[in-house]
């Protein structure tokens, strides 16, 4: 991740609202993490908030697609033990 340390990334996973990003990007990261972890918990207000910050529906879909693709890739790597060092 551009300009972020491993510690920044770890902290962002624990609490996306404290990510070292601007408010707009932080809100998107928090939304994607919420959607990936608890898709049924996403409400219209979550998307409205992103719209208020200037994100478009296309931006939101793109960000969530990237987030879900990362989860899918992680599952594949774990299944085939690609995440283990030799």
Residue 22: how many CA atoms within 13 Å on its side-chain side?
A: 3
DSSP secondary structure, 12-43, as one string: HHH-GGG-SS-HHHHHHHHHHHHHHH-GGG--
Locus of tokens 């790597």: 77
- Under DSSP, the state recorded for 3 is T
Give the start-to-end residue ranges of the domains of the chain. 22-79
Over residues 12-70, the pLDDT tens digits come to 778 877 778 899 999 999 999 999 999 999 999 999 999 999 999 999 999 999 999 98
What's the whole-model pTM score? 0.77
Neighbours of 3 (CB within 10 A): 7
pLDDT at 86 over 80: no
Tell me if 27 sits within 8 A of 53, measured CB to CB: yes
């Amino acid at each position: 991740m551009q300009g972020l340390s491993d510690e920044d990334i770890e902290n962002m996973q624990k609490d996306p609202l404290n990510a070292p990003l601007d408010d707009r990007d932080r809100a998107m990261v928090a939304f994607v993490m919420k959607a990936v972890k608890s898709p049924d918990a996403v409400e219209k207000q979550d998307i409205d908030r992103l719209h208020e910050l200037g994100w478009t529906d296309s931006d939101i879909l793109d960000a969530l697609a990237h987030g879900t693709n990362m989860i899918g890739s992680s599952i594949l790597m774990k299944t085939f033990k690609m995440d283990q060092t030799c």
